[in-house]
Amino acid sequence: MSKRGGGGYGNIMQQAQRMQGQIKRLQEQLAEQEFEGSAGGGLVKVIADGRQKVRRVEITPDAINPEDLEELSDLVLAAINMAVGASQEHSQAEMKKITGGIHLPGLY
């Protein structure tokens, strides 16, 4: 066996460990970041973190029409999808910077 082959493996392991550390730091940062989605001209606002967890839902009194609660449900869903979508796009872009565009299942 040549040393060259072993050195390559060691280098790959170091790169993998470095990437793992960068991913962990990114995940910590994402947990602190907020992404907003709104619907109905701001009648409903949703805040999600960078890990796609909804943190807050704000509904203005003007959004509530007892005669049409289905519309309110639609606004809430639209705002959630917008906030989570923005979070996913940001997370994926940041992860690609670390992985060089290689998709690693289970990471994002």
Tens of pLDDT, residue by residue over 18-51, are 989 999 999 999 999 999 999 999 999 999 999 9
Q: pLDDT (tens digit, 9 = 90+) per residue, 51-72?
A: 999 999 999 999 999 999 999 9
Q: Which CATH number goes with the domain that contains 68? A: 3.30.1310.10
Number of domains forming the structure of the chain = 1
Residue 79 lies in a domain: yes
Residue 24 lies in a domain: yes
pLDDT > 50? residue 2: no
Domain boundaries, position 52: 3-99
Residue 44 lies in a domain: yes
Residue 83 lies in a domain: yes
- At residue 100, the pLDDT reads 84
Q: What is the dihedral of CA 70, 73, 78, 80, to 10 degrees?
A: -170
**CB of 48 closer than 8 Å to CB of 91:** no
